[in-house]
Chain A
Amino acid sequence: TQLLEQSPQFLSIQEGENLTVYCNSSSVFSSLQWYRQEPGEGPVLLVTVVTGGEVKKLKRLTFQFGDARKDSSLHITAAQPGDTGLYLCAGADSWGKLQFGAGTQVVVTP
């Protein structure tokens, strides 16, 4: 069973600060997806990283896939209140089943 561990579980920061969320596994994934979930809604895909060592940027969000494709990180620069939400990483196994981490709850206060 592939297990994805996310850290920290909870992060509360002030507007303008930077933050990093981590996603780690003992297993290798062919790719990893990051989702954000806001209260009362389903998760929404932010990015998919495929290649070991890959870095993708989405405005103030930077996603990195580890060289060994076992871990990933999400870095937010100059966080804004609109970044508040539950950040989830997910990896697909060869059967097409997407395994999710438990998520990191991010709260950005003005």
Chain B
Amino acid sequence: EAGVTQSPTHLIKTRGQQATLRCSPISGHTSVYWYQQALGLGLQFLLWYDEGEERNRGNFPPRFSGRQFPNYSSELNVNALELEDSALYLCASSLIRVTGHSPLHFGNGTRLTVT
């Protein structure tokens, strides 16, 4: 069974540009979660998609957005990039809505560097 895959693995952008990050969940998983992992700050919840709909978002500005496609893959878009957006962006999938009993399966992340 293939795990969660993310692309690209590394992305270098300049301030003000836009970045698009992609995620393919484990086959059969309908929920996709996006987290930002900045140095020393742990994992910060960004977005949750389930069955093609945005179900919840974290405390991030609107320039962070995304979508989930009919095949349950997902995109995270970051507009008007700022230096502090530099971080590891992790995607995770789960079989059902996380209730605390179902695990999240993470990809290896996309390292975004904004210069």
Q: Write the residues of chain A forming the contact surface with B, with a CB cutoff of 8 angstroms.
A: 6, 29-33, 40-45, 48, 50, 88, 90-92, 95-103
Give 27 pairs: A residue, B residue, CB < 8 Å, sorted on A. Answer: A6-B42, A29-B100, A33-B103, A41-B108, A42-B90, A42-B92, A42-B106, A42-B107, A43-B43, A43-B90, A45-B104, A45-B105, A48-B103, A50-B101, A90-B43, A90-B104, A92-B99, A95-B55, A95-B56, A96-B31, A97-B45, A97-B58, A98-B98, A98-B104, A99-B45, A100-B42, A102-B41
Contact with A along B20-35 (1 / 0, CB 8 A): 0000000000010101
Closest to B3 in A: A42
A30-B100 contact given A95-B56, A96-B55, CB 8 Å threshold = yes
A42–B100 CB distance below 8 A: no
